[in-house]
Amino acid sequence: MFWKFKRRWSGVMWKNQLFYFSAVIVFFLFVNVFLFQRNFASLEAENNVDPGGTISKLNYDRAEVTKTRQVFQERNTRHNLRYMFENKLRKLLDIMESNLEHTATYGSNENEIPFEKYFSDRLLYCDDILNITDMTYMASGWTKAVYKGTFKGSPVAIKTVDVKGQEVTTCVEAGSSQTACYIKAAKKIVKEIVVLQAIAGENILKVLGFCLPRNADDNLWVAMVTELGEAVDLIKLLQMSWEDRLKVCLDITKIINYMSKTSYGSMSMNDFRRQQFVLINGTLKLSDVDDTGFEDPSCVVKADCDVTFSSANFSQRTRCIHNKCVDYNEKRNVYNAGRHFVTFLLPHGAPPNLQPIIEKVVDGYNDLTMTSQQLLKLMNDIVTSYKTGSYLNRTKSDHDHSKYSVLHESDLPGLYDYRCRLSLSIASCTISVYDEHEAEDVCNNEEQCEGFVMTKHITWSGRRLVHLKNGTGKPAYNADTTLYIRQR
């Protein structure tokens, strides 16, 4: 009897399982068909481009059609990549949410969670984060609190939810539970982890690792570990040498160009401020990406594609191609990068011969007449000219009769320093030069200058640092420096 019952029971079970299997298969088929249809729908749309009415219109439209086709092919690959990316994000959010709500099916060991599948280049895990020493509070924004610490001898930044921050406080005041509010804020950090890793590059803050909560009682809450940077504030920017500001301007131009052509689409930044960037060893990197998207806005009529700027009295129209405002995000980013960085950092203190090309760049940023690609080309031209010394506009006859005597392996440490305009240091007249002839020219133009010490210190662009001196007596031995003495 019992056996029979069991047999009947397993029969029912078996039927149930069959039912579930069929349901799963049907579901997958449905998803596949759905995806196929979506891709197919856009392929269809590509072929459905209206050839236009008149002959002349037809000719004009042919170029448009090619352009449209390119836009669409690009959009298809981007669409697929973005789908994978969103999938990854959703999965991570699910894992975290279910862990926090105690319905975890992943167990308490995070290594059981298939993170490696998603983040193969992750360097740090939760246990490593516990091992970070010298944790000190640094800064906080709306959602996050940022700490610095040391991991295996290297400085790192740790970002976590600021439980006393605006985001969580406002959410709790609005009547949600502490946990729900925490999860909401934590999701922003998770999005940031995924986005930063997805767009990883030279000018993107590097994520070294992260920890997602394993259960609601876990005292290891959401944390992401990145390289440590410095805040980018206005005073710091204005106090930089022109050369270092040139680097910042080059980097922000690289960043907006990079953002305009990620594999997921053209990136938008809804909250473009200097605080979203950090400086790491003189390199500007995009750091805060929780308020970003990867799609240009949709449009029905042309006016939907007007890019307007609340802070300026002008707007520009981008083209509406197949219900997308092409280049909309890029225009906004160019405008913001100009306003927050380039237009006030680049002209001030620039070498006179570079002024004309700098004006072009500033105009391009101001009236949005150039794409980020064109701006980047000009910036690279400026940097090349500065690096190679061609901005000095020298003729061959310029330097046949040097009025300086040279003392090799000589230095004047701490002696005869004076202050000068555009110096890299407050206490001395320290500047970077292309070569000793440029240093001579600078010295010749300074009444106080009696000579200079040429060092082997190289700046980011490969120029040499020199210290100008208002006297030259009693030189000391230094294998790495050369003293040039002005002959009046």
Ligand X SMILES: *[C@@H]1O[C@H](CO)[C@@H](O)[C@H](O)[C@H]1NC(C)=O
Task: Return the residues of window 71-130 that contact ligand ATP according to CB under 6 A.
Answer: none
Task: Return the residues of window 298-337 that contact ligand X according to CB under 6 A.
Answer: 313
Contact region for ligand X (CB under 6 A) — 72-80, 127-135, 182-190, 364-372?
A: 127-135
Pick the catalytic residue: 121, 134, 271, 435? 271
Compute the chain's Rg from CA coordinates. Answer: 30
**Would you count residue 231 as binding ligand ATP (CB under 6 A)?**
yes
Estimate to the nearest angstrom the gap between the alpha carbon of 261 and the chain centroid.
13
Could you tell me the smallest distance in angstroms from the CB atom of residue 73 to ligand X? Answer: 39
Task: Return the residues of window 252-281 that contact ligand ATP according to CB under 6 A.
Answer: 275, 278
Cβ closest to ligand ATP, residue 276 vs residue 482: 276
Q: Which of 92, 95, 126, 143 binds ligand ATP (CB under 6 A)?
A: 143
**Would you count residue 418 as binding ligand ATP (CB under 6 A)?**
no
**Would you count residue 146 as binding ligand ATP (CB under 6 A)?**
yes
User: Which of ligand ATP, ligand X, none is residue 313 near (CB under 5 to 8 Å by kind)?
Assistant: ligand X
User: Which of ligand X, ligand ATP, none is residue 471 near (CB under 5 to 8 Å by kind)?
Assistant: ligand X
Three state DSSP letters for the chain = CHHHHHHHHHHHHHHHHHHHHHHHHHHHHHHHHHHHHHHHHHHHHHHCCCCCCCHHHHHHHHHHHHHHHHHHHHHHHHHHHHHHHHHHHHHHHHHHHHHHCCCCCCCCCHHHCCHHHHCCCCCECHHHHHCCEEEEEEEECCCEEEEEEEECCEEEEEEEECCCCHHHHHHHHCCCCHHHHHHHHHHHHHHHHHHHHHCCCCCECCEEEEECCCCCCCCCCCEEEEECCEECCHHHHHHCCHHHHHHHHHHHHHHHHHHCCECCECCEECCCCHHHEEEECCEEEECCCCCEECCCCECCCHHHHEEECCCCCCEEECCEECCEECCHHHHHHHHHHHHHHHHHHCCCCCCHHHHHHHHHHHHHHHHCCCCHHHHHHHHHHHHHHHHHCHHHCCCHHHHCCCCEEEEEEEECCCCCECCCCCCCCCCCEEEEECCHHHHHHHHHCCCCCCEEEEEEEECCCCCEEEEEECCCCCCEEEEEEEEEEECC
Both tokens of residue 365?
A: 């940023």
Contact region for ligand ATP (CB under 6 A) — 40-48, 210-218, 223-231, 386-394?
A: 223-231
Instruction: Kindly write out the interface string for residues 276-315 of this chain, putting x where it contacts ligand ATP by CB under 6 A and - elsewhere.
Output: --x--------xx-x-------------------------
**Would you count residue 142 as binding ligand ATP (CB under 6 A)?**
yes
List, edge to edge, every strand of the sheet that includes 476-486: 404-411, 476-486, 451-458, 464-469, 429-433
**Would you count residue 416 as binding ligand X (CB under 6 A)?**
yes
Could you tell me the smallest distance in angstroms from the CB atom of residue 452 to ligand X? Answer: 13
Q: Which of 46, 64, 97, 128 binds ligand X (CB under 6 A)?
A: 128
Q: Which of 45, 65, 122, 141 binds ligand ATP (CB under 6 A)?
A: 141
**Would you count residue 475 as binding ligand ATP (CB under 6 A)?**
no
Question: How big is the site for ligand X, counted in residues (CB under 6 A)?
Answer: 14
**Would you count residue 205 as binding ligand ATP (CB under 6 A)?**
yes
**Would you count residue 347 as binding ligand X (CB under 6 A)?**
no
Q: Which of 65, 71, 81, 138 binds ligand ATP (CB under 6 A)?
A: 138
**Would you count residue 418 as binding ligand X (CB under 6 A)?**
yes
**Would you count residue 390 as binding ligand X (CB under 6 A)?**
no
- What is the number of other CB atoms lying within 10 angstroms of the CB of residue 9? 10
Q: Which of 226, 292, 372, 428 binds ligand ATP (CB under 6 A)?
A: 226
Could you tell me the smallest distance in angstroms from the CB atom of residue 449 to ligand X? Answer: 10
Could you tell me the smallest distance in angstroms from the CB atom of residue 163 to ligand ATP? Answer: 12
Task: Return the residues of window 265-284 that contact ligand X according to CB under 6 A.
Answer: 281-282
Long-range CB contacts (< 8 A, 24+ apart) of 72-78?
A: 72/42, 72/43, 72/45, 72/46, 72/322, 73/46, 75/42, 75/265, 75/324, 76/39, 76/42, 76/43, 77/263, 78/263, 78/264, 78/265, 78/294
Could you tell me the smallest distance in angstroms from the CB atom of residue 281 to ligand X? Answer: 4
Could you tell me the smallest distance in angstroms from the CB atom of residue 252 to ligand X? Answer: 17
Could you tell me the smallest distance in angstroms from the CB atom of residue 94 to ligand ATP? Answer: 23
User: Which of ligand ATP, ligand X, none is residue 470 near (CB under 5 to 8 Å by kind)?
Assistant: ligand X
Identify whether 271 is a catalytic site residue. yes
Task: Return the residues of window 330-389 that contact ligand ATP according to CB under 6 A.
Answer: none
**Would you count residue 127 as binding ligand X (CB under 6 A)?**
yes
User: Which of ligand ATP, ligand X, none is residue 226 near (CB under 5 to 8 Å by kind)?
Assistant: ligand ATP
- Cα 367 to Cα 272, 307, 326, 337: the distances in Å are 18, 12, 18, 12
In angstroms, the CA 400 to CA 135 distance is 59
**Would you count residue 353 as binding ligand X (CB under 6 A)?**
yes
Residue numbers annotated as active site: 271
* Residues in contact with ligand X by the rule CB under 6 A: 127-128, 131, 281-282, 313, 353, 393, 395, 416, 418, 460, 470-471
* Residues in contact with ligand ATP by the rule CB under 6 A: 138-144, 146, 157, 159, 205, 226, 228-229, 231, 275, 278, 287-288, 290
